[in-house]
Structure 1
Amino acid sequence: MTEGRSNEEEEESRVLGFDKMPGPWGLPILGSLLTLGSAHPRRFSEWGSKYYGNIFRYKMVYQDYVVLNGYEAVEDGLLLCGNSLSGRKPFPVVDHVHKGKRIFFTNCDSTWREWKTFAIRAMAAAMPGMPLKICDEGEKLISDMLDLGFATGTAIDIKDLMKCRMAQIGFRSFIDKEFEETEVQGIIDEIYGPFRSKPLSGFLFLIPSLAYIPPFNRYLDAIKRNYTLVQRRLEKAIKERLSPDDDSTDVAASFFKDHPNPDEDEIERLACLLIDWIFAGVSTTSEQALWVLLFLMKHTDQMKIVQAELRNALKDGKGVEQLYKNKDLVPRFQASIHEVMRLRPIAPMAFFHKTIDEAVVGGFRIPENVVIVPNVWSAHHDPDLWSPDPESFRPERHISGDGKFLPSKYVIPFSLGPRKCVGEELARANIFIINALLLSRYDFQLAQESENVDMEGELASILQTPDFKIQIHDKLD
């Protein structure tokens, strides 16, 4: 150490400025748009390994972005420097409609902390009763499949059926209410609709200032009208929900116990939390559950091992909700889910973060208002962690020598730090229980038309499964 300098001063002297961070070339105004093409996590991983290292920057229009590649960089940014990186990139579609009341999209301020703390506590109170409700929705999913001719060998697409049941689980966990199927589909379409409207939403994401000019302002006004109708419908359901002294344990029950006489603003914020609950939980959990089924159907040897394990664990008349409380009985099933989450994390770039103040990550000083791209995909496919076959589906890599499930800390599908998914426990329960019900009851396969389905998936805001159909092979005893 240089005489007279502290360890902190030595470390500070080694920190590089933001202008020293490597990254692809860019043009004025456009930035790296032409070089980047589409922001795919696999491309970011390749850029990091070939050219720029685990932390690099790029520019899109006028916004600076920093990519964190590999587990160490993601951990450093989201966990060790999490508070500084806990902001969200502005998104006019949400800002125009809800004016900062959607906690999923707002920065880490005192209101966000208050509502996140409430959501965590309320979710913990709701979870003990959820396995039975999830099983109920799983049985209804099977009934829906049978109505489409599944039992007679008809090839069916279950994506919309799965999403509907996951939405009903979300509503039951939040307000202990099921909606009519046509109504729940309408709510889902309104909540997700603005994010499917390309190219307008894409341009707004890149250039938020476009929100003030046609046709973008008219597009946003139309969205606001539709969203307001959905929000009012959910506010009405919340007000009808319950009296504060009943024995219910859903999220709304916890809210009313804290706020026996809520004002309209508090009801509105709770409705916005419910919209986030559905937005962040339905498509993500549904698609992750479908990825599990798809990988097992593509690897029939692994599926047979899982099915035998599930049947053995349930042979004494146990229900799947009981099995969920005794998950150690099915280590191979758990390992298969874990491996699918490694290979196809539903949010491979963890939903973009933003610095709310200056931070030092990986030896670089990152200023305020920089968008952070945590490349979870790169950690999940890192050859240093998963050699010799990081791209292979091999659940046994998560099984210990004595046959127990051995989860890896390097598998982070629900992210890390302050923005880690609040609904992780519910999502894991959904994926476990729904798949356990299906796999223990039926031996099914990909329909012939889907045998060569592209396993890369379709990357939008989440990593979606490709379109595929399944067919019953046999009903298991």
Structure 2
Amino acid sequence: MDMVRVCVSLCVCVCVCVPCMTCCLFDLLTIRLIGRFAGIINTEGKMWKEQRRFLHERLRHFGMKHMGDGREKMENRIMIEVYQMITELADKKSAPVELGSYLSSAVSNVICSLLMSVRFRHDDPKFIRFTNLIDDGFKLFTVTAAAGFIPILKLLPAFNYAFNKIRQNFGEISNFYQEIVDDHKRSFDANNIRDIIDGYILEIQNAKEEGRSEQLFNGKNGDRQMQQIIGDMFSAGTETVKTTLQWATVFALREPHMQARVQEELDRVVTRFRMPMLDDLPNLPYTEAFMLEVMRRATAVPLGTTHSTSRTTTLNGFTIPKGTQVIPLIHAVHMNPALWKDPEVFNPERFLSADGTKVVKPDYFIPFGVGRRVCLGDVLAKAELFLFFSSLLHTFTLTVPQGASVPDLRGQAGVTVSPQTFQVCAKARYVENVVEGETQSSREPFNVFPCLPYLSCPVQ
């Protein structure tokens, strides 16, 4: 309990004291421009509760659950993109690549299939433009956010430029989202709900027929709500997963003996005749512990989603007025030496039981946030992190390009804290064949894909 109290004390900060780095902490003017209190991230009260409940039900319908019927839908969506990414990496034949672009398109397509039943190639001009607009927006928000704490900054030319650029980018992104909504309306079939957007269209139709349109979305425009939901889920569901996987690659390069230990565990449990599946996770404690330690040590999202006090209260002797924005300091908790021994050291074994056979997660491990605004897509994110990372190491050995330095741990601040740009060589692993009692290495890289017939299935 003492540890938990320390965690709670560290985990809360009144927003007027802390400059922000994440999209959750824009000043009020920026939120009104971008979110107009639509979507789910920038809403509160009754509308937030209704939207979270509706999205939770829809996501579970499409397989976002820990167990039970339908989970294979989620797994199939992810594995289709895993297969595509690994195929593209294999085509590079161990040449140095910047893994970020491959991860970006792969992770984005998982959420795109769930949201709007589309997928993009990583070199698709429309996709590149779309992701560039979002990336630019996240960088510009770090400029405008400071004005929420120092209002006089709004008078500076740099702020005006950033604010106007955000307005321009937002208009272009909104048009992109509206094209998706319009396409769905034209092909909508109430008997075949394909994705989240179809789910919203059905809900809007039902509300109209039942005479509750004015209550739905607090009377706000339905198209505007769908645009913002696409934006909220795409932003939250891609950047964090991609960045965490990039950090996992960094630590695999920095700690090759740990990478080898993950591969040994995968070979032993999964075997060399198929790819990892979600059902394998309970039998892969070290692999899971490695990813948990990545999430702790890197903490891609250092500040959690903003909360607000519903009444005046006190914390550690300080009075916090009603309506104060409260920000969970996730990075501070994950790097607190009172909670973690040698927190600067990357050590997956801190998440293992004494005998190394079970994963142990303390209460103060909070990568997906805290409270009622904890990440809505944590089930999907956990599945993506495991399947992408384990499949990558099951198929390749990751090495630093010849003559290059090992990536350091200095991050770049934006909506997430991402690694500095780096390249990696993905060398196909070879399978050991036993021939006449002697172990010999085959000349062909290990091919796991024919053993996965569901990878050829369309997204459903």
Which range, TM-score by smaller chain? 0.7 to 0.9
Q: Deviations over 1:289-311 (max 9, x none)?
A: 11112112211111111111112
Gaps of 5+ in 1: 1-47, 68-86
Contact 2:97 2:423 in 1 (8 A): yes
Report the residue type matching 1:258 in the other structure.
E
Q: Does 1:231 align with 2:231?
A: no
Among candidates 222, 228, 249, match of residue 266 of structure 1: 222
Q: Deviations over 1:381-416 (max 9, x none)?
A: 2223222x2222221222224512222222111111
Report the residue type matching 2:138 in the other structure.
F
Change beyond 3 A, Cα 1:418–1:198: closer
Report the residue type matching 1:457 in the other structure.
G
Cα deviation, residue 140, structure 1: 1.7
Q: Which residue of 2 aligns with 1:123?
A: 59
Contact 1:93 1:194 in 2 (8 A): no
Distance in 1 between residues matched to 2:253 and 2:369, nearest whole Å: 27
Change beyond 3 A, Cα 1:55–1:235: closer
Moved more, 351-360 or 263-272: 351-360
Q: Does 1:295 align with 2:251?
A: yes
Contact 1:92 1:211 in 2 (8 A): no
Q: Deviations over 1:65-88 (max 9, x none)?
A: 279xxxxxxxxxxxxxxxxxxx96
Cα deviation, residue 188, structure 1: 1.6
What is the RMSD of the two structures over their aligned residues, measured on CA atoms?
3.1
Distance in 2 between residues matched to 1:207 and 1:417, nearest whole Å: 28
Q: Deviations over 1:440-475 (max 9, x none)?
A: 001121224543422132233321112111113442
**1:354-393 matched pairs, under 5 angstroms:** 354-355=308-309, 357-387=311-341, 389-393=342-346
Contact 2:312 2:319 in 1 (8 A): yes
Distance in 2 between residues matched to 1:159 and 1:200, nearest whole Å: 24
Q: Does 1:255 align with 2:205?
A: no
Q: Deviations over 1:427-452 (max 9, x none)?
A: 11111111111100011212245434
Distance in 2 between residues matched to 1:317 and 1:475, nearest whole Å: 13
Equivalent position SS for 1:114: helix
Cα deviation, residue 274, structure 1: 0.7
Report the residue type matching 2:399 in the other structure.
Q
Distance in 1 between residues matched to 2:133 and 2:169, nearest whole Å: 7
Report the residue type matching 2:226 in the other structure.
L
Among candidates 37, 44, 47, match of residue 100 of structure 1: 37
Contact 1:453 1:466 in 2 (8 A): yes
Q: Does 1:314 align with 2:270?
A: yes
Contact 2:335 2:344 in 1 (8 A): yes
Cα deviation, residue 167, structure 1: 1.3
Change beyond 3 A, Cα 1:438–1:55: closer
Q: Deviations over 1:229-279 (max 9, x none)?
A: 322322231342353434446322433443336789212201211101111
Q: What is the TM-score when the length of structure 1 is the normalising length? A: 0.74
Cα deviation, residue 118, structure 1: 1.5
Q: Which residue of 1 aligns with 2:369?
A: 415
Change beyond 3 A, Cα 1:430–1:393: same
Q: Deviations over 1:73-129 (max 9, x none)?
A: xxxxxxxxxxxxxx96534334213422142133x2211221122222222222221
Distance in 2 between residues matched to 1:423 and 1:56, nearest whole Å: 22
Cα deviation, residue 162, structure 1: 1.0
Contact 2:293 2:351 in 1 (8 A): yes
Contact 2:90 2:428 in 1 (8 A): no
Cα deviation, residue 54, structure 1: 4.7
Among candidates 353, 368, 384, match of residue 400 of structure 1: 353
Q: Deviations over 1:150-179 (max 9, x none)?
A: x1x321111122112211111111112114
Report the residue type matching 1:412 in the other structure.
I
Q: Does 1:177 align with 2:113?
A: no
Q: What is the TM-score when the length of structure 2 is the normalising length? A: 0.77
Report the residue type matching 1:97 in the other structure.
I
Q: Which residue of 1 aligns with 2:450?
A: none
Equivalent position SS for 2:397: strand
Cα deviation, residue 316, structure 1: 7.1
Change beyond 3 A, Cα 1:476–1:455: farther
Report the residue type matching 1:306 in the other structure.
V
Gaps of 5+ in 2: 1-5, 65-70, 214-219, 432-460
Distance in 2 between residues matched to 1:396 and 1:303, nearest whole Å: 13
Cα deviation, residue 225, structure 1: 3.6
Change beyond 3 A, Cα 1:155–1:361: same
Contact 1:102 1:276 in 2 (8 A): yes
Equivalent position SS for 1:386: coil
Q: Which residue of 2 aligns with 1:188?
A: 131
Equivalent position SS for 1:385: coil
**1:458-473 matched pairs, under 5 angstroms:** 458-473=412-427
Q: Which residue of 1 aligns with 2:216?
A: none
Contact 1:194 1:201 in 2 (8 A): no
Contact 1:125 1:249 in 2 (8 A): no
Number of equivalenced pairs = 397
Change beyond 3 A, Cα 1:315–1:248: farther
Q: Which residue of 2 aligns with 1:243?
A: 188
Cα deviation, residue 317, structure 1: 4.2
